[in-house]
Amino acid sequence: MIQGAGIVGVDVGSTKTCAVVATVHPGRQPADPLEIIGLGVTRSEGMNGPGIGNIEAATQAVRTAVRQAEATAGREVEAAYVSVPSGSVRTSRSKGVLQVSGSEITPADVKRVQEVGRAVPIPPGHELIHALSQRYAVDHRDGIRDPEGMAGTRLEADLCIVTADVAICHDLAKVVDRAGYRPDELVMAPLATALAVLEDAEREAGVALVEIGGATTDVLVYGGHRILHAATLPWGGSIVTRDIARGLGVHEDEAAQLKERHGGALRDRADSQELLDVSGARHGRARRVSRELLVHIIEQRLDEILGLVYEELETSGTLGGLEAGIVLSGGGVSLAHTEDLARSVFNLPVRTGIPSLGLTGMAEGLARPSYSTATGLVLYGASRASAGGLVGATRAFARVGGWLREFF
């Protein structure tokens, strides 16, 4: 029998819904891993791009994914940490300032200065989902990550305020609730992904997380352990699939299968003599097309998407500070040679981020970019449990050091 607190993360994406279950045992030490015990994946139904278009269909998708994960885990769960699509999210900066009454800064002082920083106007139609404490200053000494115990009279906190569309948050919570689970907390999707795939050293040096999902591409830039820029581009893997469907004259379901089974990101790496059988649904008869043509279609669109990311980074002024380069994630980066294409676009170090470090149990089954957000959600939940003193910490919590603790 599995003992320990169960945590489930539910990533409701535009093309798939993924649920990951982890258990955090009582008495775990900081060096211990987070144990993954369940995984469930199903096609997203009822989605309208990054938003929900049909509550009942989306509810069924969540129910199916979580029940699959429960069956794999051999246990039931009650509550879930749920991803919020970044297209519905806004980020801003805020500063809290506090005069310290004692001789040194206490945990209560840190909590109070965070509360001051959170007291900002919320955009109409939005609600606060995160207030991330990124850096502190003590008596104008900047760049402090943990001010507790330091001597000083003035404490400042630099916060990243994250708000989300109220209607989308309501719909997500309603879907999870109707599926039979309590929505514990809503989490900005790329923030969860970052927990699963970014290293502490990368966040310090400067790194851009580029997550190509089904409907959108998310960009999250870190430097000096702070979020410097966040953006969402309205193009993702689905537009690549549509290009294949149009270019080869097939239905989108077949185009998606062709992309998954035979796709790639660089035309010059494809065998021009290799032929693929296609149904020819739009031409009235089955036929054969070259794999080179398929890969050429994919390369053209991926190159365009990555080029738009480059422009976003350049316009935001963050491109020059990416000493750690680019980390790719999301289902849209799973094709062969995507890293090579990205290197040619950005002229920076590029790697594909997969959730693996600090995990045990079914961790190997999660080693795909498309599972990064759901895995990050359980890491987030584990850190919440640890911060609340419910269970022991995890290696994943320790691995990212203070930057996970900075969330709370």
Can you give the pTM of this predicted structure? 0.90
From 25, 13, 10, select the one nearest 78 (Cα to Cα). 10
Third-level CATH fold of 202-235+301-352: Nucleotidyltransferase; domain 5 (3.30.420)
Beta 350-352 vs 326-329: how paired, if at all?
parallel
Q: Average pLDDT for residues 182-209, to the nearest whole number?
A: 95
Three-point CA angle 123, 125, 127, nearest 5°: 70
Instruction: Provide, rounded to the nearest whole percent, the portion of the chain with pLDDT above 70.
Output: 90
pLDDT of residue 56: 94
Token pair, residue 277, equals 């059988």
Q: With respect to CATH, is domain 89-163 assigned 3.30.1490.110?
A: yes
pLDDT of residue 30: 53
Token pair, residue 366, equals 């999660």
User: Is residue 155 very low, low, confident or very high in pLDDT (cuts 50, 70, 90)?
Assistant: very high
Q: Where along the chain do the CATH 3.30.420.40 domains lie?
A: 5-87+166-198+354-405, 202-235+301-352, 237-300
Tens-place pLDDT, residues 302-312: 999 999 999 99
CATH code for the part of the protein at 237-300: 3.30.420.40
pLDDT of residue 398: 36
Q: Average pLDDT for residues 361-390, to the nearest whole number?
A: 82
Q: Average pLDDT for residues 22-35, to the nearest whole number?
A: 73
pLDDT at residue 3 tops 80? no
pLDDT of residue 18: 96
**Hunting for tokens 């819904």 — which residue is that?**
17
* CATH architecture assignment, domain 5-87+166-198+354-405: 2-Layer Sandwich (3.30)
Please measure the distance between the N-terminal and C-terminal CA atoms of the chain and give it in whole angstroms: 32
pLDDT of residue 360: 87
* Distance of alpha carbon 117 from alpha carbon 314, whole angstroms: 29
pLDDT of residue 391: 32
User: Is residue 46 very low, low, confident or very high in pLDDT (cuts 50, 70, 90)?
Assistant: confident
The mean pLDDT value of the chain amounts to 89
pLDDT of residue 365: 84
pLDDT at residue 319 tops 70? yes
Tell me the one-letter amino acid at 260.
E
Q: Which residue has the higher pLDDT, 21 or 6?
A: 21
Count of positions (residues) in the chain: 408
Tens-place pLDDT, residues 288-297: 999 999 999 9
Backbone phi, psi, residue 95, to 5°? -125, 135
Contact 23, 8 (CB under 8 A): no
Tell me the one-letter amino acid at 133.
S
User: Is residue 167 very low, low, confident or very high in pLDDT (cuts 50, 70, 90)?
Assistant: very high
Tell me the one-letter amino acid at 110.
V
> Which 3-state string (H, E, C) describes the chain?
CCCCEEEEEEEECCCEEEEEEEEECCCCCCCCCEEEEEEEEEECCCEECCEECCHHHHHHHHHHHHHHHHHHHCCCCCEEEEEECHHHEEEEEEEEEEECCCCECCHHHHHHHHHHHHCCCCCCCEEEEEEEEEEEEECCEEEECCCCCCECCEEEEEEEEEEEEHHHHHHHHHHHHHCCCEEEEEEEHHHHHHHHHCCHHHHHHCEEEEEECCCCEEEEEEECCEEEEEEEECCCHHHHHHHHHHHHCCCHHHHHHHHHHHCECCHHHCCCCCEEEECCCCCCCCEEEEHHHHHHHHHHHHHHHHHHHHHHHHHHCCHHHCCCCEEEECHHHCCECHHHHHHHHHCCCEEECCCCCCEEECHHHHCCHHHHHHHHHHHHHHHHHHHCCCCCCCHHHHHCCHHHHCCC
pLDDT of residue 20: 97
pLDDT at residue 393 tops 80? no
pLDDT of residue 396: 34
Q: Average pLDDT for residues 203-215, to the nearest whole number?
A: 95
* Distance of alpha carbon 184 from alpha carbon 381, whole angstroms: 9
pLDDT of residue 100: 94
* Distance of alpha carbon 339 from alpha carbon 328, whole angstroms: 8
pLDDT of residue 400: 39
User: Is residue 68 very low, low, confident or very high in pLDDT (cuts 50, 70, 90)?
Assistant: very high
Cβ-count burial 102-112 (b if 16+ within 10 Å, e if not) = eeebeeebbeb
Tell me the one-letter amino acid at 22.
A
Three-point CA angle 407, 110, 405, nearest 5°: 25
pLDDT of residue 283: 57
pLDDT of residue 1: 37
Return the C-alpha torsion angle 316, 321, 327, 329, nearest 10: -20
pLDDT at residue 67 tops 70? yes
pLDDT of residue 116: 96
